[in-house]
């Protein structure tokens, strides 16, 4: 192990010096022993085979209160850091017709009209995320529908208080995700691309 060479490398990284002569001086042997430490390394970006499992998709929407409170970046960061891949995103003022269709299963509930009004009160960030078990894991990341029942560390557990302002929506099943994605996005609005990060997320 060339400890001297490693020491030179660490010191160079610490001070951010680009001029190698500051470390090597006039001693060519010292440069020979450390030069390989600075050689560029090319890491291949090989595509990870897409399977039915790791290509599962979910629909996530940041509601008007989440947008107004400046939580868009924080929420996207959490899904990215988890390892999911963003394949669709739009910033939209949803129409009442779109919202009524989205929440059609709740049309007979007494809070339906208020829910549609609330969702129509400001812009929404609509997203499609892809990854292994993304529907189930996404719901866990969101927390319970009622923030009071959500654990710390979840989005709702950390950022909201009342169920009527719970900042985010996530598909509750693969079937619901497919329906919601097709409602909010056209096929050409979803982007399929190669991500080198996938090599470090999936075996």
Query: Pick the catalytic residue: 36, 102, 120, 169?
Result: 169
CA 174 from chain centre, in angstroms, equals 18
For helices 72-82 and 134-142, angle between their N-to-C axes, nearest 10 degrees: 140
Per the annotation, does 139 bind a ligand? yes
C-alpha radius of gyration, the chain, whole number = 24
Question: Is 111 known to sit in a ligand binding site?
Answer: yes
Q: Is 102 a catalytic residue?
A: no
194 is in an annotated binding site: no
Distance between CA atoms of 8 and 21, rounded to whole angstroms?
12
Q: What share of the chain is helix, strand, coil (3-state, %, to 5)?
A: 50, 15, 35
Residue 59 assigned to a binding site? no
What are the residues facing 130 on neighbouring strands?
A: 57, 85
Question: Is 109 annotated for ligand binding?
Answer: no
Structure tokens at 110: 């007494």
Contact 122, 68 (CB under 8 A): yes
**Does 18 show up as a binding residue in the annotation?**
no
- For 83-92, letters b (16+ CB in 10 Å) and e give bbbbbbbeee
Which residues does the annotation place in the binding site? 63, 111, 139, 145, 156, 166
Q: Which active-site residues does the annotation give?
A: 169
Which residues does the annotation place in the binding site for ATP? 63, 111, 139, 145, 156, 166
């Amino acid at each position: 192990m060339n400890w001297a060479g490693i020491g030179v490398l660490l010191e160079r990284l610490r001070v951010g010096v680009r001029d190698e002569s500051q470390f090597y001086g006039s001693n060519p042997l010292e440069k020979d022993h450390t030069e390989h430490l600075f050689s560029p390394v090319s890491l291949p970006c090989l595509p990870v085979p897409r399977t039915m499992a790791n290509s599962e998709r979910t629909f996530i929407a940041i509601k008007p209160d989440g947008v107004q409170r400046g939580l868009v970046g924080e929420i996207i960061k959490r899904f990215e850091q988890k390892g999911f891949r963003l394949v669709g995103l739009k910033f939209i003022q949803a129409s009442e017709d779109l919202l009524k269709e989205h929440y059609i299963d709740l049309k007979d509930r007494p809070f339906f009209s208020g829910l549609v009004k609330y969702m129509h009160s400001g812009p929404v960030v609509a997203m499609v995320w892809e990854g292994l078990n993304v529907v189930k894991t996404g719901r866990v990341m969101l927390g319970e529908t009622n923030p009071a029942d959500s654990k710390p560390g979840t989005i709702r557990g950390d950022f909201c208080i009342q169920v009527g302002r719970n900042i985010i929506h996530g598909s509750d099943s693969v079937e619901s995700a497919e329906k919601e994605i097709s409602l909010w996005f056209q096929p050409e609005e979803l982007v399929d691309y190669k991500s080198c990060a996938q090599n470090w997320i999936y075996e």
